C-alpha cells in the first residue's frame, strides 16, 4: 500500500505543472514524509484550477468519527490474492466508503516520490520509488467531506487509489502499487462529466518502465522525521542510474554510485 510519499517541489512549479493556483499558499510546506493524518496538496474535480490542502486519510461523509482511510483498492473486495494478472471487477465502485467519491469526488495527488517496502518487512526495509522523467507526477485519488457531529466543523480528506504491483514495486517485494496517472489522463480523471467506465479504465498499475527505486533508511517509519536526508540512498538502485533530479534539487549528493559493470538489476 502507499502510506508515505514526498512532495518537496516548490509551490510555483507545482502550480505550473498542474495549471492551478493555491487557494491558501501559506499552507503549502515541502514535505519529505507525508503520511496519514498529515495535510497534502490536491487538485479536485469540483475545483480543477485550484490547489487545495486536505488531510491524507479519508473519512467518509457518513462516518461517526475520523477513519483515515489512506488507500482505496481499485478491485475493492475482489482479487484478495493480489494477482498481478487480475482483470476482473473494479470493486471500488461498490465499496460504501468510495462508491460516491469515485463517481463525483476525484482528485489528483501531486507527489515527487513515494515509499514502499517488502510485504512483510514493510517500512522496516523501505525503498524510495520515483518517476524517472516526471516530477511531480499525480496519484489518482478520491476525497470526501466530513462534519464533526460534536462541533459541526468541516473536514476534507483524501485517499490514494491502489492497484496490483508493477515491475518496480514487485522488485522491492511489495504486492501493490499506487495508481499513477499518465499526464494525458489527468484531465479525464478530473472531468465530472466523464463516464464511470472512462474513469475506471484508468485504474491500472503504472508501467514500471518509467519508475526506479533505491533503499533508504528505516528512519522513514517515524512519521515525525522530515529530514531531507531520508531520501539519501543506502544501497544500489533497482535499475542502473546515476542521477535523480529530486536529490539534486534538494542539494543531497550522498547517492550511491556503483560502476556500471558492477550494478545488478533486480529484474534479472
pLDDT confidence of residue 240? 84
Determine the pLDDT at residue 243: 61
> Which pTM does this prediction carry?
0.91
Q: How far apart are the first and last CA of the chain?
A: 24
Report yes or no on 231 lying in a domain.
no
Cβ contact 41:10 at 8 Å? no
Give how far the C-alpha of residue 74 lies from the chain's centroid of Cα atoms, to the nearest Å: 14
Q: Are strands 47-56 and 39-44 parallel, antiparallel or unpaired?
A: antiparallel
pLDDT digit of tens for each residue in the chain (268 aa)?
689 999 999 999 999 999 999 989 999 999 999 999 999 999 999 999 999 999 999 999 999 999 999 999 999 999 999 999 998 989 999 999 999 999 999 999 999 999 999 999 999 999 999 999 999 999 999 999 999 989 999 999 999 999 999 999 999 999 999 999 999 999 999 999 999 999 999 999 999 999 999 999 999 999 999 999 999 999 999 998 766 667 777 777 544 443 333 333 332 2
Task: Give domain status of residue 31, yes or no.
Answer: yes
Contact call for residues 80 and 49 (beta carbons, < 8 A): no
- The answer to the question of residue 165 being in a domain is yes
Cis status, amide bond into 175, omega within 30 of 0? no
What per-residue confidence (pLDDT) applies to 268?
25
pLDDT at 257: 43
Segments forming the whole domain that contains residue 61: 4-214
SS3 for the chain is CCCEEEECCCHHHHHHHHCCEECCHHHCCCEEEECCCCEEEEEECCEEEEEEEEEECECCCCCCCCCCECEEECCCCCCCCCCCCCCCCCHHHHCCCCCCHHHHCEEEEEECEEEECCCCCHHHCCEEEEECCCCCEEEEEEEEEEECCCCCCEEEEEEEEEEECCHHHHHCCCCEEECEECHHHHHHHHCCCCCHHHHHCCCCCCCHHHEEEEECCHHHHCCCCCCHHHHCCCCCCCCCCCCCHHHHHCCCCCCCCCCHHHCCCCCC
230 within domain boundaries: no
Q: What pLDDT score was predicted for residue 242?
A: 63
Q: How many residues are present in the chain? A: 268
Looking at the structure of the chain, the number of domains it has is 1
CATH number, domain of 155, equals: 3.90.1680.10
Look at residue 220 and tell me if it is in a domain.
Answer: no
Return the pLDDT at 247: 73
Amino acid at each position: 500500500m502507499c502510506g508515505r510519499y514526498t512532495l518537496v517541489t516548490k509551490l510555483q512549479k507545482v502550480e505550473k505543472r498542474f495549471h492551478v493556483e493555491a487557494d491558501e499558499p501559506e499552507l503549502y510546506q515541502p514535505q519529505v514524509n507525508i503520511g496519514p493524518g498529515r495535510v497534502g496538496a490536491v487538485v479536485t474535480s469540483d475545483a480543477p484550477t485550484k490547489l487545495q490542502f486536505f488531510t491524507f486519510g479519508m473519512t467518509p461523509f457518513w462516518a461517526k468519527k475520523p477513519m483515515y482511510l489512506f488507500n482505496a483498492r481499485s478491485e475493492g473486495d475482489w482479487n484478495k490474492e493480489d494477482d498481478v494478472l487480475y482483470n476482473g471487477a473494479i470493486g471500488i465502485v461498490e465499496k460504501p466508503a468510495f462508491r460516491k467519491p469515485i463517481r463525483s469526488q476525484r482528485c489528483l495527488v501531486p507527489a515527487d516520490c513515494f515509499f514502499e517496502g517488502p510485504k512483510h518487512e514493510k517500512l522496516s526495509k523501505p525503498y524510495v520509488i520515483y518517476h524517472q522523467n516526471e516530477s511531480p507526477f499525480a496519484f489518482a485519488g478520491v476525497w470526501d467531506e466530513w462534519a464533526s457531529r460534536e462541533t459541526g466543523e468541516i473536514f476534507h480528506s483524501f485517499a490514494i487509489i491502489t492497484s496490483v504491483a508493477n515491475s518496480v514495486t514487485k522488485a522491492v517485494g511489495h504486492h501493490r502499487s499506487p495508481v499513477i496517472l499518465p499526464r494525458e489522463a489527468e484531465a479525464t480523471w478530473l472531468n465530472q462529466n466523464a463516464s464511470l467506465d472512462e474513469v475506471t479504465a484508468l485504474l491500472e498499475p503504472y508501467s514500471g518502465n518509467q519508475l526506479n527505486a533505491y533503499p533508504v533508511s528505516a528512519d522513514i517509519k517515524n512519521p515525525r522525521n522530515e529530514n531531507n536526508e531520508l531520501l539519501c540512498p543506502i544501497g544500489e538502485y533497482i535499475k542502473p542510474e546515476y542521477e535523480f533530479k529530486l536529490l539534486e534539487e534538494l542539494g543531497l549528493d550522498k547517492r550511491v554510485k556503483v560502476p556500471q559493470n558492477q550494478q545488478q538489476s533486480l529484474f534479472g
